[in-house]
Amino acid sequence: MKLEVVLNGTDTNPYHKLGLTQNPFPQLGKAQYDQHVLALQSLGGNPIPDTDYIRKVLKGWSAEFVDLCCKTFRKGEMVKFTVTFGE
């Protein structure tokens, strides 16, 4: 299972120009993951103020994944990376 992670450290939401707050389409086609994937995708919408915000949004994800997101986050930049999870 692969997921694209987008962390918005900029001052603007790139989806506002489309009338949206975030990417509305889940990356995985399984209903049991929708809530979690949409929470992850929210990090690519509205600007992230700090790593505490990332931890709050990703509550319930593995500590290793949350730590990776916090370490990768860069204030002032849009950061994208792909992760692969085993099932």
pLDDT digits (tens, 9 = 90+) for 20-75: 888 877 676 667 777 888 889 999 999 999 999 999 999 999 999 999 999 999 99
Q: How many domains does the chain have?
A: 1
Task: Record the pTM.
Answer: 0.88
Q: How far apart are CA 41 and CA 56, in angstroms?
A: 14
pLDDT number for residue 87: 60
83: number of Cβ within 10 Å: 13
Q: Which domain holds residue 78?
A: 2-84
Q: What are phi and psi of 79, to 5 degrees?
A: -110, 135
pLDDT number for residue 25: 72
Structure tokens that stand for 61 in this block? 């994800």
